[in-house]
Structures are given as structure tokens and as C-alpha cells.
Amino acid sequence: MTASPSLPYQDIILNPEDRAADLVSRMTLEEKVSQTLHDAPAVERLGIPAYNWWNECLHGVGRAGIATVFPQAIGMAAMWNADLLAEIAAAISDEARAKHHDALRRGVHDIYYGLTFWTPNINIFRDPRWGRGQETYGEDPYLTARLGVTFVKGLQGDDPHYLKLVATPKHYAVHSGPEADRHRFNAVVNQRDLWDTYLPAFEACIREGQAASIMGAYNRTNGEPCCASPTLLQTILRERWGFDGFVVSDCGAIDDIYRDHKVVDTPEAAAALAVENGCELNCGCTYEALVEAVKQGLLDETVLDRAVIRLFTARFRLGMFDPPEQVAYAQLPISVNDCDAHRTLALRAARESIVLLKNADNTLPLPKTLKTIAVIGPNADDEKVLWGNYNGVPSFTVTPLAGIRAALGAPAEILYARGCSVLRSDTSGYAEALAAAARADVIVFVGGLSQAIEGEEGQEEGVTDGKSQGDRTDIALPAVQENLLKELYALGKPIVLVLVGGSAIAAPWADAHLPAIIETWYGGQAAGTALAEVLFGDYNPGGRLPVTFYKSVNDLPPFEDYTMAGRTYRYFQGEPLYPFGYGLSYTSFAYDSLRFEGESFTTSDTITLHAEVRNTGSRAGDEVVQLYISDLEASAPVPVHRLQGFRRLHLKPGETAAVRFTLTPEALSFVDEAGRRVLEPGIFRVTIGGGQPGARGSSGISRTVTVSGDRRFLD
């Protein structure tokens, strides 16, 4: 028996919150509890269909069959192109909506076909050993915030009445390894690092991006389980940031509260604690204990009602209970999935994500007249390695080997040998690789990492045999690959090293000895085509590093230490192998005419500045203009310098572009030891260029600006 169409919750004129409240008021305790689980059953008497809240679209719709697969998130960060990321997010959300409605027409309500997506991962990639850093936008709070907001908005759409999808920034908060201990780990962090590094991207995605959901982390932060933290979920998220959406636990995280964190003793107490503090949805089944928790008096039923109302508000905002003809997004046809336009977009993203790390003596681009090329390495002809994790399955994938073959055509001889695995010490393939290389004019070695080396704890996705090791204990290029490279180097042939992976790789020997090195990340379905275009000069690379490449694991503080001192480009005092923001081009750029609008500034002013960038080379290319701030007179510890603006430009040879940035008072502020954002009068150095001030390979121009006035708290 279905409900009468005259009931308030069925009235599409009412706002989603009122409809949700009316619906929940008609539910029994058991029915309400059933809706707090990610695999929520139908409540037929009220016309509520079954719904599985769990879905993924980290870099394309994941785990739901054929979909366009874009570069892994860290690769999309390397594009340094928010406009392109917005196009990608719109394409992903088109495919997600189309898949959802196609599934409904077929009566499918399974996992990975809903409209609530647990992405983006905006944790700060503070340490390259973390296996899930590949899922993030890198190590910088500003870059992560800008890209996170862009992705959230692109997923959720701009319809005035309906959400396109629900975006879920994760994992809130202070979460980035170690993977093996994440279910029991307590991340201890001081207030300065909390507010200056770990929270800014979340705040931006909630306040500016208006994310409708957020996912709590497995770990504790300063003693409180993140999925039941009054500090994170109440004081900061809802009271300070004004969040009015719903919170979902990471999968199994409510179990952790009593089993591993041992904050309480029973499932009932854990479930009650989480709901009381504002975690509405359980990925898992611990919330089944909420029925008994209410009966035992551990949780007031009105608090449970609040949680369920928030969940149904999201479903009403998605249009799930309205006629499809009322929801524009419901009209997207399944033909949009894996369409030609999205394939083209995936290729463009793969191109823009590639970072040229070294190009001695203009080794690249290679001439297409080469007669023989040896393509060697464990990642040269592996489709799956290009997909990263949390991925969909593309209808086709171009590997590096296939891309090189297509680019050169029949006249060239392409010799292929795998040579070795990514990690295992078996050298039985060396002889074949050396024989092929001996016959070649140039060697292209495609190695690096894979999901077997870096990934989520227990991850099987992308791993051919067994499970991912999760975190890395060393950040060096695996020895089996470097040893093969050394034997190839002894042949005296030019070698181009192509790195595949999701995090920084320490390869100082390669940097010292090999003429050309390229980073391609996990480049998605079009990775091989994009690589070949870069190798042979059909595309001029313009990607930039979203993480620091260190020389050795010895450069890093202990992995378990969440203090930012000594970490990332903002606090690292040593010399990196390749700095954050770094990337070379086949052309060159010069900067000039840095000026400020106005002669004097106070701590209440927004500062506007201008500069010019010119392509001084002979090829068209992309430059990523980067703006860094250094506070030269701060009364507290501050970053050496920090990113506060960026823009990717395409310039023809000899072309000049004017760039304009604005610096708000917040951009010049710092966070004190109490976690308060402070702006002091003083002298600031502003640098605009193609990289960090004074860093390897960067060009730019700097000026100081004096800010007068009163010391201000900005929060």
C-alpha cells in the first residue's frame, strides 16, 4: 500500500527540509534506523525505494562498468588548471546522472549507481609515503582548496532547485596515514597546523563550495574519534562553518570507536555517540544498534530524527521523490557515457597533467625520423596501471607502448621488453631488455610505481596478485628498476625515463645521469597518446608538480608525526630533487612589470597586483603563473613562502599576457599558536613566476609591499 499523493512530503512545492521532516514523522523507530545505513532498505508503505548511498567518482565514475577514466586526482592537480577541472567534473557528473537513471529504468538500486558520491579526497598529502596521497590534490592547502571547491561545484551543478549529485569531501580531518594503523591511530596536531594546513580545504569546500555532505576519517584527532568528534562535527563544522548537510562515516569507522579506539565499550554506545555528535550516515552496519541505543536511553529519539531528516533532505534535493520530468538532470541520456566529447576531454587532461622534470641538451622532443626505439619497463604496456584506484573501466586504454607505435607508424621499428616488474627483485628479464636496447637509437623506459606499491590499506583494486602494500617505507625508485636503468645506461644510448605513479619518487641517480625524465602519474585512458605527443613534440608539456620530490626518505620527519615542521615546500629547509610547482617546457618564459594598484596599504585592504609574462622561445606552450607570499616580519613561525594564486596560460612564441591577482587580508595572514588567523602590519615579499621563489627551474619577479595599520584577528 503506497501513501496518498496528498501527503506533505510528496508536495514538490514544499522545501526539501519540510518534506523530509514530514516523511520522518511518519516512520517507526526501526524504519528510521534502517535509513541511517548506507545500504538503506525500501519502506514500501511510505513509497521510499531502496537506496545505496555508496558511490565513487574520484577521477571518473568508479566501479559501475564502462566510464570515461581521467587521470588520477594527483594528475589532475598537476594540470594546475581549475577551468579544465570544472569541465571534467561536469562530464563526470553527466555520466553519473545518466548511469543512475538508466539503472532505475532497469530496476537496479545497487551500490555504485546512486547520486551520493564520496569524493573529492582533499586530505593534505603531507608525506610521500602515504599510499592514498594519489587520491588527493597534493601537499598545498591553497591549491587543494581551489581544486576541491571547483570539483565540488562541478559535481553538484548549478540548478536552482536540484542538486546534480552530492559531493562528499573526505576524510575529515587530519588524515593521511599510516594506513596500517588508521583504525586505531590518534593524530596529534597543534592548533597552528590544524587551522593552517589540515582544515582550510575543508572549510573552503563547505563554505564556498557548499558541499552537501562530508565524510569523517577513521582516525582520532587529538583524542576524539573523527566520526564522533564534538570538536570537528559540532564546534567547527556546524557552528563555525554553518554546514547544514549530512556527515557520513568512513566504512567501518563506527566499529572502530569501540573495537580499536576503545572510547566506548559497545556498538550501541558507539552508534549513539556518533549520531549525537552529528554523524548521520553509517557506511557499515553498526547503526543497526541504534534501535537498542534508543531503548536503553543512550540516544534521544529526537536526535535520531534530526539525523534522518538531514539524510532525506539530501534525497529530496536530488529530486529522488519527484517526477523525472521535473528534474532536468534526469533527462541526461546514457549515450553521454563514454562519449566522444568526454574521450577528447580525457586526452586533454592527460596532456596537461604531464610534467617534464628534466630535458638536458634538448633531448626532447625526439625526432619522428628515428629508425629504432626500444620501449622498456614494467609500466610500458600495462593498461590497468594507468587507471589508478577508485576507478571506472574505460572502453579502451592507450598504453605508452601503443601510443608510441601509433605516433611513429610503420617505418619505425619499435622493440619492446618489459625487463622487470615494478617491485619484485626478479632480474630474469634484464637480458631481453638489454638486447633490445642494444639495437635501438633511443631507449624509452617506462617505470615508476603501481597500486601494488601504493594504495589503500587492504586494497585489491588495480593489483594483479594479492593486495597493495598500502604505504611505502621508502620513496626511492624501486631498486630492480634503477639497477636495470644503470645497465641500460652503460650501453651509451640516450634514455628517456617515464615515471608512472601517484606520488613523489626519489630518483637522484636518474636525475644526475639520464638526459630526460617525464612524470605522467596514473594518466587514465589516454595516457599513452598524451605521452607520445610529448615525446615527439606534438604537445608541449606544461604540467607542474603538486608535491615536493625529495632526494631520499631521510629528508622526511617520522611518518607518524603530524607536525608540519620539515614537511612540504612550505616548511622543508633542505634542497628537494624537484620542488613543488616545478615543471619544464619546450619553450621559455620571462616575467616583467610587477606592480601594485595603489601606493600604500593597511591591514584592512585588498591588494591588486599586475604583471606580464612573455613566451621568449620559439614554440607555443603553457605557462603556469604562480603567486607566492612570504611574510618577512611575522611574530610567529610562518611558512617560508606559500602559494596564494595561480593561472595556466597558453602563449604563442613572442606573445605577452597580462595577469592580475588580488590578495585579500586573509591571504597575508598567518595562524598563531591558538589557531587564530592573524594579520599583522609588516613587510611582505610577493613573487610571481613559473615556480617557487628561487627554486630550481623557476623564473619570476619579486617585490616587497609594506602593510600598515592595526594587528587584526580575521576569524
How many other CB atoms are found less than 10 A from the CB of residue 317?
22
- Half-sphere exposure (Cβ direction) of 7: Cα atoms closer than 13 Å: 18
Q: Which residue among 56, 94, 127, 250 is the active-site one? A: 250
Contact criterion met (CB below 8 Å) for 534 and 347: no
Instruction: Compute the distance between CA of residue 408 and CA of residue 529 in angstroms, rounded to an integer.
Output: 11
Residues 417 and 609: their CA atoms lie apart, in Å, by 53
Return the closest-CA partner of residue 580 out of 176, 124, 172.
124
CA angle 616, 622, 627 (to 5 degrees): 90
Centre a 10 Å sphere on the Cβ of residue 439 and count the other Cβ atoms it contains. Answer: 12
* Cβ neighbours for 344, distance < 8 A, ≥ 6 positions apart: none
Catalytic residue check, 533: no
Direct distance between the N- and C-terminal alpha carbons of the chain, in angstroms, rounded to an integer: 53
Catalytic residue among 454, 519, 672, 680: 454
- The position carrying cell 588548471 is 81
Phi and psi torsions of 476, nearest 5°: -75, 155
* Rounded CA separation 179/59 (Å): 21
* Residue 119: HSE in the Cβ half-sphere, 13 Å Cα cutoff: 31
Question: For the purposes of burial, counting CB atoms within 10 Å of the CB of 522, is it exposed (0-12), middle (13-18) or buried (19 or more)?
Answer: buried
Active site annotation includes 710: no
Specify whether the CB–CB gap between 470 and 180 falls below 8 A.
yes
Q: How far is it, in rounded angstroms, from Cα 554 to Cα 580? A: 18
Question: How do 589-596 and 607-615 pair as beta strands?
Answer: antiparallel
Active centre residues (catalytic): 250, 454
